Amino acid sequence: MILKTISITIISIFISLNVFADNNPDIDSLKNESENTEIINNLDSLLNLWYISSSLSSEYYNNSDLKEDTVYLNSLPTFSDSILIERLNNLSTLIKLPFNDKVRDYINAYTIKHRKRVEVMLGLTNYYFPIFDEILDKYNLPLELKYLAIIESALNPEATSRAGAAGLWQFMFATGKMYKLNINTFVDERRDPIKSTEAAALFLSDLYKIYDDWLLAIAAYNCGPGNVNKAIKRSKGKNNYWEIYHYLPKETRGYVPAYIAATYVMNYYSEHNIVPKKIEFPIAVDTIMITEDLHFGQVAEVLNMPMEMIRDLNPQYRKDIIPAKSGTYPLMMPSEYTTKFLDLSDSIFSYKDSIFFLNKSSVIPSKKGNIAFIPDSPSDNMKAVYYTVRSGDNVTSIANKYRVSVNNLKYWNNIHRNLIKVGQKLVVYIPKNSKDQTLAEVSSNNETKDAKTEIAKNNSDNNDDFVYYKVKSGDNLWDIAKKFPGVSNTDIMDLNNIKNSKSLKPGQVLKIKKK
């Protein structure tokens, strides 16, 4: 095989060091329980997550391991190989999905022996698959790659392998670092659903550039490009996964068939009488940017919310601590708790801080004492403009944008501890002759006017190239993009500096370039 010539310097270095190797456990066959303990452990640990355990009955746990008795097995639907092959061929996938005995074994394992665990994974797809789809689409990758997370982690962001791979996409430490994931004592972004999916998309894209074949790229994702290259060399240059199959590590020989089977099951589970479990995972969540150290215990006790709820929504924090002293970090919360958090933020940050942070340094008061802050009251020469907080914004950057002091901005908007959230509208007082008004701002004198009309008026010189859309309740980026031919959801995100598609708020105005 002649590999596609491409310059990927960083990957080449890591291939030579073979840091990708052994990032997944032996899962050669789900028929042999001793050879698939890792994937079963991931499935079992998934059941221990708070949102899942609180959604399932005790009866489910008492019967989670199915008895393979004759009566039960005979009650399940069975299908011939020809039907399974036909169904795989009918899937609209860019990645080829061949069928053989190995694939059939995995399909049987998912649909018979471990079907109850599959029901739980299906219940979580409503939460995780939209995240995967959006990011894979952003990088123009086949959307069916999302099924890799099924065999990598069973959709468990807290999954950890014996070799040290972690998160939904099972990144090893070195690979995660290479793809810019933050990993330290307190934070492990391999467990962050959004950031780890971004990294997985980049990794898979790089692997495809090397092999120009998705099954080889998937194999390399499992065992590392170094092992795939060795298998190609030992097979005398063959460039087909099945032709190098016997030269690959044992776990990778089972990995691709498991992926094909997972793709089948995620699409045809109903034909096997598998019913997704309803998991009460909060689809409506808000992200609050934290700028100083915070312990989950402080949030849980002051807001009277389960600690496990906070952990499940923020699996990237290893010690229940957000170490925001060294930077700004996100805290994901159910929407119904967000306002309460903002209202009680002073109490939350100070609550039992000497207990939750035993090594927290004492603050020595200045000999001069504190100087009281005297806010600037708006004068007749000032006008009010309104700014909608975007992903990545912070109080300092917004204050600098309008050349006002941080303290004034906080005073005008009753902001405590620099806490703002995406979609929040802030009032800013600026000189009446200022021309700093931007797309996201509406003058207080025109506040009752439709935002779309006002913004179009303020930017009439660009109306030939752009249109403006006001977000309605229930809108999402996919639906909005469909209203404008030739425009994709990623086009809208890039133009409006949107990092998280879930940050859309009713009333928000989006700038859309005409195609």
* Spatial contact of 272 and 116, defined as CB atoms under 8 Å apart: no
Segments of the chain scoring below 70 in pLDDT: 1-74, 283, 358-380, 434-464, 515
Residue type, 298: Q
Take residue 360 and report the two structure tokens written for it. Answer: 């927290």
Question: What pLDDT shows up at residue 46?
Answer: 55
pLDDT for 375 equals 58
Query: Which tens digits make up the pLDDT trace of 31-61?
Result: 343 335 555 555 555 555 545 555 555 445 4
Encode 108-152 in three state secondary structure. Answer: HHHHHHCHHHHHHHHHHHHHHHHHHHHHHHHCCCCHHHHHHHHHH
394-395-399 Cα angle (round to 5): 120
CATH of 382-513, one of 3.10.350.10, 1.10.760.10, 2.40.160.40, 2.60.40.10: 3.10.350.10
Tokens of 286: 């808000």
Among 224, 149, 226, 211, residue whose Cα is nearest residue 3: 211
DSSP conformation letters of 280-322: ---SSEEEEEE-S-EEHHHHHHHHT--HHHHHHH-TTBTTSEE
Q: Is the dihedral of CA 66, 70, 72, 78 positive or negative?
A: positive
Name the E strands within 372-515.
382-388, 425-431, 466-470, 509-513
Decide: pTM greater than 0.95: no
| Spatial CA neighbour of 505 closest among 331, 338, 348 | 338
Class (C level, CATH) for 17-53+79-272? mainly alpha
Domain boundaries, the chain: 17-53+79-272, 285-356, 382-513
Q: What pLDDT, on a 0 to 100 scale, did the predictor assign at position 215?
A: 95
pLDDT tens-digit readout, 238-290: 989 999 999 999 888 889 999 999 999 999 999 999 999 887 777 678 889 99
pLDDT for 406 equals: 81
The pair of three-digit structure tokens given for residue 486, joined into one six-digit string:
């030739």
Nearest partner of 396 among 405, 386, 387, judged by Cα? 405
